[in-house]
Amino acid sequence: MTYGLFTGFTAHPGRGAELLDVLLAAAEALRADPACLHYVAGTAEDDPDAVWVWEAWIDRAAHDAALEPPEVRAAIARARPLLAGTAGRTAVRLHAGKGLPGGG
């Protein structure tokens, strides 16, 4: 089953843009991973330090495996000092819809 994940990060004051850059670099790296269907990042409408990521993967195992490579671990290490906390994490068994390759 296609796996969706919506995650919120709270950056230290004024560090939201840096955190977003780290996440968007991860998105670029994931362009080469066919198991990653979506990896998009942005900020809350009223708070540039509230950073949100939506991900969609062919399944949960693919998502979990993608956390292992050294370059991903390095990106997580770069992000960690920018983080004041997390702001929610919701996993979704994606059934279907517009925007997924093959429609679901």
**Binding footprint of a copy of itself on the chain (CB under 8 A):** 2, 4, 6, 8, 20, 24, 27-28, 30-31, 36-45, 52-54, 56, 88, 90-100, 104
CB of 76 vs a copy of itself, minimal distance in Å: 17
CB of 15 vs a copy of itself, minimal distance in Å: 15
Phi, psi of 74 (to 5 degrees): -65, -40
At position 47, the amino acid (one-letter code) is D
CB of 7 vs a copy of itself, minimal distance in Å: 10
Contacts of 70 (CB under 8 A, 6+ apart): none
Residue 42 CA, distance from chain mean position: 10
